[in-house]
């Protein structure tokens, strides 16, 4: 399936310093432990809990996308492609939430 040209470009893309994957792993592990501890052992107001947990999840997901999926080292167009779907998804969810939060006419 893979062509020679594809392979060449594939190797071109890899001409970057290999990230420290174990460091990323420890960050992901530490943030997950903090997340679970924060949810189970503390009892903050619901809004605070939601903001902190969603914020941490976004940080972790971004780390996976940037370093494990190598988006940080890929062409910008690929990042834009992926980010555009995330944006569309965010709009979809925001509209759904708005249905319940915004005052009804």
- By CB under 8 A, name the binding residues for another protein: 1-7, 9-11, 13-14, 18, 21-22, 24-25, 28-29, 32, 35-36, 39-40, 49-50, 53-54, 56-57, 60-61, 64-65, 67-69, 74-75, 77-78, 81-82, 84-86, 88-89, 92-93, 96-97, 99-101
- Shortest reach from residue 40's CB to another protein, in Å: 6
Residue number with CB closer to another protein (100 or 105): 100
Q: How far apart are CA 6 and CA 61, in angstroms?
A: 28
Residue number with CB closer to another protein (46 or 105): 46
Q: How far apart are CA 105 and CA 99, in angstroms?
A: 11
Question: Do 74 and 13 contact (CB within 8 A), yes or no?
Answer: yes
DSSP string, 76-91: HHHHHHHHHHHHHHHH
């Amino acid at each position: 399936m893979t062509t020679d040209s594809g392979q060449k470009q594939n190797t071109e893309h890899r001409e970057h310093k290999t990230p420290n994957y174990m460091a990323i792993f420890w960050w992901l592990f530490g943030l997950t432990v903090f997340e679970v501890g924060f949810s189970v052992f503390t009892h903050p107001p619901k809004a605070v809990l939601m903001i902190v947990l969603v914020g941490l999840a976004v940080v972790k997901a971004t780390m996976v996308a940037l370093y494990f999926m190598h988006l940080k080292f890929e062409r910008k167009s690929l990042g834009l492609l992926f980010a555009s779907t995330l944006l569309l998804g965010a709009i979809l969810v925001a509209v759904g939430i708005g249905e319940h939060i915004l005052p009804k006419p």
